[in-house]
Structure 1
Amino acid sequence: MKKLLGMGALLALSPVAMAGDELSGANTAWILTATALVLFMTLPGLSLFYAGLVRTKNVLSVLMQCFAIACMASLIWLIVGYSLSFGEGNAWIGDFSRVFMAGMGKGDLSGDIPESLFFMFQMTFAIITPALIVGAFAERMKFSSMLIFSAFWLIVVYFPVCHWVWGGGWLGSMGLLDFAGGTVVHITAGVAALVAALMIGNRRGFPTTAMPPHNLTMTVTGAGMLWVGWFGFNAGSALAANGDAAMAMTVTHISAAAGSLAWMTMEWVKFGKPSVLGIVTGMVAGLGTITPASGFVGPAGALVIGLSAGVICFYMTQAIKRKWQIDDSLDVFPVHGVGGILGTLLAGVFASPDLGIFSGFGFADGINSIAEQFKVQVIGVVATFVYTAVATYILLKVTGIMTSGIRVSEEQETEGLDLVLHEESGYKF
């Protein structure tokens, strides 16, 4: 059989292992660890990263949103999410055969790991994706609107796209290369963030009033947790403790380091000084961009992808904030959306064994020619982008009707969401 196309082949074509498969203790131990690492990315990694970037009066609101999404997404995944994502279904959506983990026992396997573990590992991806979107509307969205929108968004956007790519759907069948979530996680979250930022409008005072991060120490702490947790995100997607996982971890680290230094350098050249915020943002750009390619490229390819991420995502951030004046508060689209698009496209290029040093060990041997594979990657990017944008727009409209508007009032925004929505404050001076 040809090399796995990441989690698209994922054993998800048949959630329960075929007769004769045996449990692998080594693989099970690694995926247990990877699952904890991916959850660690959201709680506390992403939570602290985002919380440090907002103003003092909104720090708890961001932490609350990430925590609440983690809880809510877990239950939705249990009830219907896993089934719609990985149930047999059709080319577009899964069926209801695994609702409430129906028919899943302790001894049931997905490949050579417990199916319950595969369920948990995939759950952590469903948790972090809507949590990423929080950065786009930070400091101005109602908590009730956020909860309703996130729940609907998982069902309408995340689960179908997950099925398309990893659950035996049409994009996976076409041969789309997305090892750990360039389309499923980063493009969906990034595009939804852009639509949300446009629909909810800019924060009061943007762009004329300075809104610096209130605690960069907190942000750097969260960034470090994201970097470490991302090893579970990408290397865990091999679903085995083997060379694929080891190489995925290696290229993930290289891309993160390259993205960090590239972003820092661009900032240094443009503004005269490198910033802490810049280097950690470049790290996230490098991590997000390598994600879809992490199981298919070698170290040289990862270096090019990371450097490209640091430069291109930097310029997109400048364009969106300064030129187009769109208040994507914490740069979700230019970092995750653009990074996901860039990484998905470059996966189709650097995965080819014909590129020698750039493809390293030719992880995706048996794929189409570079031109043909690139075409498949473009189709995956465009389909995910368009579907996510349209669905997110409709869901935000519906949410606004249900909650009498998705944005807090001007007075509430001025006072801060911590006190207004939660009757608490992050700091007692």
Structure 2
Amino acid sequence: MSTSGLPSAYQVSAASPDWLNKGDNAWQMISATLVGLQSVPGLVILYGSIVKKKWAVNSAFMALYAFSAVVICWVTWAYKMSFGEKLLPFWGKAGPALGQKFLIKQAALPASAHYYDNGNLETSMITPLYPMASMVWFQCVFAAIAVILLAGSLLGRMNIRAWMAFVPLWLTFSYTVGAFSLWGGGFLFHWGVMDYSGGYVIHLSSGVAGFTAAYWVSSLFHHIGNLMFASN
């Protein structure tokens, strides 16, 4: 898209690629920032204030750690598992999303075009007018808030050390599966399942995981308590 015919105030600088739209990119980053603020400081403050005083710091740090850990895991391997090249019908190939060449190129979803068995195009790539860096960060804050929403089911129930191990495991083996299946070109994407606002990828997955984790953590503590009572 050439900008030479636009008024000078709207033209992208000579150092910017022709496909870059400053308005699209700005709105993408604003949207990501607003979602990020829901997590930090939003849910950090909320979680620290709704539990008993003895659990306040632990609960706040569960949310803060989750956001920080997801950022690291996301750019190291999880983004491409969610939006990269197909490995399985529900999973992408793991890999870093950190290289300059990767981050400054035009964003593309899914990562590759998909074809029918006869060679006809099934799903083409969508190429929005902003760089991959904006897409990676935008999707990162959604992954982070999904884990933090899950944490709400475990406040006062889980030790921070156990939570530190749980976050990267759940992100890798649960969130990336849903994200790739629905958004990244996986089998649900090709079945025509639409999830514009994250109802399946974020809210349903974190809700089900929260109920499941709370049940098993409570059952574990109950079992340990019975053993301690029996030994006495």
C-alpha displacement at 1:144, in angstroms? Answer: 1.1
Distance (Å, rounded) in 1 between the aligned partners of 2:175 and 2:221 = 21
- In structure 2, the CA distance between the partners of 1:406 and 1:175, relative to structure 1 (3 Å rule), is farther
Candidates 186, 189, 192, aligned match of 1:169: 186
Distance (Å, rounded) in 2 between the aligned partners of 1:28 and 1:188 = 28
Give the counterpart letter for 1:91 in structure 2. P
CA contact (8 A) 2:104 2:133 kept: no
Task: Report SS of the residue matched to 1:113.
Answer: coil
Q: State the match for 1:345 in structure 2.
A: none
Distance (Å, rounded) in 2 between the aligned partners of 1:185 and 1:197 = 18
C-alpha displacement at 1:49, in angstroms? Answer: 2.1
Candidates 54, 59, 73, aligned match of 2:56: 59
Distance (Å, rounded) in 1 between the aligned partners of 2:36 and 2:72 = 15
Q: State the match for 2:89 in structure 1.
A: 91
Distance (Å, rounded) in 2 between the aligned partners of 1:21 and 1:93 = 33
Distance (Å, rounded) in 2 between the aligned partners of 1:177 and 1:105 = 27
CA contact (8 A) 1:93 1:169 kept: yes
The aligned runs of 1:125-144 (5 Å cut-off) are: 125-144=142-161
C-alpha displacement at 1:406, in angstroms? Answer: 7.9
Task: Report SS of the residue matched to 1:139.
Answer: coil
Q: State the match for 2:12 in structure 1.
A: none
CA contact (8 A) 1:35 1:121 kept: yes
Candidates 179, 191, 208, aligned match of 2:196: 179
Kindly indicate whether residue 56 of structure 2 is the aligned counterpart of residue 39 of structure 1.
no
Distance (Å, rounded) in 1 between the aligned partners of 2:74 and 2:37 = 18
Give the counterpart letter for 1:152 in structure 2. L
The aligned runs of 1:255-334 (5 Å cut-off) are: none
CA contact (8 A) 1:104 1:116 kept: no
Distance (Å, rounded) in 2 between the aligned partners of 1:21 and 1:183 = 35
Kindly indicate whether residue 213 of structure 2 is the aligned counterpart of residue 196 of structure 1.
yes
Task: Report SS of the residue matched to 1:109.
Answer: coil
CA contact (8 A) 1:145 1:406 kept: no
Distance (Å, rounded) in 2 between the aligned partners of 1:151 and 1:114 = 26
> For this pair of structures, how many residues does the alignment match?
187
Q: State the match for 1:50 in structure 2.
A: 47
C-alpha displacement at 1:137, in angstroms? Answer: 1.6
CA contact (8 A) 1:35 1:120 kept: yes
Q: State the match for 2:110 in structure 1.
A: none
Q: State the match for 1:310 in structure 2.
A: none
| 1:114-167 Cα distance to aligned partner (Å, 9 max, x none) | 111100000001111111111112112111111111110100000111000000
CA contact (8 A) 1:104 1:115 kept: no
C-alpha displacement at 1:100, in angstroms? Answer: 3.9
Distance (Å, rounded) in 2 between the aligned partners of 1:104 and 1:131 = 31
Give the counterpart letter for 1:176 in structure 2. V
CA contact (8 A) 1:141 1:406 kept: no
C-alpha displacement at 1:101, in angstroms? Answer: 2.9
- In structure 2, the CA distance between the partners of 1:100 and 1:25, relative to structure 1 (3 Å rule), is closer
Distance (Å, rounded) in 1 between the aligned partners of 2:146 and 2:33 = 16
**5+ residue gaps, structure 1:** 1-19, 203-404, 411-429
Q: State the match for 2:121 in structure 1.
A: none
Distance (Å, rounded) in 2 between the aligned partners of 1:201 and 1:29 = 44
- In structure 2, the CA distance between the partners of 1:165 and 1:106, relative to structure 1 (3 Å rule), is closer
Bigger fraction of residues in helix: 1
CA contact (8 A) 1:66 1:134 kept: yes
The aligned runs of 1:5-20 (5 Å cut-off) are: none
CA contact (8 A) 1:34 1:121 kept: yes
Q: TM-score, normalised by structure 2?
A: 0.75
C-alpha displacement at 1:29, in angstroms? Answer: 0.7
Candidates 157, 170, 173, aligned match of 2:174: 157
The RMSD of aligned alpha carbons is 2.1
Q: State the match for 2:164 in structure 1.
A: 147
Distance (Å, rounded) in 2 between the aligned partners of 1:106 and 1:169 = 22
Q: State the match for 1:357 in structure 2.
A: none
Distance (Å, rounded) in 2 between the aligned partners of 1:107 and 1:56 = 46
Distance (Å, rounded) in 1 between the aligned partners of 2:93 and 2:56 = 40
C-alpha displacement at 1:54, in angstroms? Answer: 0.8
Candidates 21, 26, 29, aligned match of 1:29: 26
